[in-house]
Amino acid sequence: MEHNIPDWMNLHECHKPKRDSRRFITATLKSISSASSLFRSNPKAYSPADAPVMLFISIALIIMTASSKNLYFSFVMLSVLSVRMCLLEGKDIIKAFLTALYAGIFSAIILIPSVFFGSPHSLISISLKTFITTGIIQCLSISSRWNDITASLKMFAISDLIIMSFDLTLKYIQILCSTCEDMLNALLVRSIGKNREKAASLSGISGTAFLKSKKMSEETGQAMECRCFSGHYERKIRLRHKAGNIISIILFSLIAAIFIYLEFRIS
């Protein structure tokens, strides 16, 4: 038979592995899986209102917080945000809070010089505003599905084609992350000794991931052409939480009223 297996395959392998640093592979694996989980469309979106409403409110609140010249309004927003965060699930509260806190601390550090230039006031107000806006975005992205968010961009007169490219980007980030994860696992299961050319193996992975992404986008383009794609891409938005939407809008109107009162009373 011509398919005879070579002799050495008949023997029992006695492999004594050498130590070698694999920290890089495992660390890369960890960071990739956390990156992909960031963009994974959240299956248990538990937002109290529908994505378009939440998106509108979030953007409006961010604009109001950023443009407000009154520190009282920032405090109002801070309390609103803390109440909103408390409505998240346990693990998510920590995630949202920490992300917002890091952003706030980071901007405070950047603004330290401003204290010496005589405006210590801006240090407090800007880092507070950063904390609030980051917190709002966190609450939105944690409790709504990414897909619903992109679909509701339609509301802001953003063209279908741009929404589609957002959707495809989100999808590709997912696919590429899982491909890289698989390739790193493949490297891990075959890293059974001392790899003299670790850098080469890892650059092979990123190179392959790049080529693969190129091929994938070509193939998606071809597949779309085959399905008679003509530039028309429409995502339907369904409104599910009637009561939630109304309550959210009422609460939002209250905050907006406070904003107008505080801003224009002073001036």
Partner 1 sequence: MKTAIYLEDICHAYGSSISLRHISLEIKAGSCMALKGPNGCGKSTLLKIINGLVFPNKGRYLLFGEPVTKESMKNEIFSKKLHQKIGYIFQDSNAQLFSPSVYEEIIFGPLQMNISQEEADKRAKDCMRLLQIEHLAERAPYHLSGGEKKKTSIACILSMNPEILCLDEPIAGLDEESQELCLDILKGLKKAGKTIIIATHNNDLIKNIADEEYRFYSGRS
Q: Which residues bind partner 1 (CB under 8 A)?
A: 1, 3-6, 8-13, 15-20, 22, 43-44, 179, 182-183, 185-196, 201, 204-205, 207-208, 211-212, 215
CA distances in angstroms from 36 to 26, 39, 177, listed in the order given:
15, 5, 6
| Torsions phi, psi for 158 (to 5 deg) | -90, 135
Q: Tokens 């696919």, residue?
A: 175
What string of DSSP letters covers 58-100?
A: HHHHHHHHHH---HHHHHHHHHHHHHHHHTS-HHHHHHHHHHH
What's the closest the beta carbon of residue 111 comes to partner 1, in angstroms? 39
What's the closest the beta carbon of residue 210 comes to partner 1, in angstroms? 10
Cβ nearer to partner 1, comparing 182 with 234: 182
What's the closest the beta carbon of residue 217 comes to partner 1, in angstroms? 14
Cβ nearer to partner 1, comparing 121 with 215: 215
Cβ nearer to partner 1, comparing 98 with 188: 188
Residues 253 and 12: their CA atoms lie apart, in Å, by 75
What's the closest the beta carbon of residue 98 comes to partner 1, in angstroms? 20
CA dihedral 153, 170, 106, 101 (to 10 degrees): 80
Cβ nearer to partner 1, comparing 211 with 257: 211
Cβ nearer to partner 1, comparing 12 with 265: 12
What's the closest the beta carbon of residue 187 comes to partner 1, in angstroms? 6
CA distances in angstroms from 182 to 14, 164, 179, 187, listed in the order given:
27, 27, 5, 9
Residues 97 and 113: their CA atoms lie apart, in Å, by 26
What's the closest the beta carbon of residue 183 comes to partner 1, in angstroms? 5
Q: What is the residue type of 194?
A: K
Over the range 244-257, which residues count as b (16 or more CB within 10 Å of their CB) and which as e? Answer: bbeebeebbeebee
Cβ nearer to partner 1, comparing 16 with 236: 16
What's the closest the beta carbon of residue 221 comes to partner 1, in angstroms? 18
Cβ nearer to partner 1, comparing 208 with 217: 208
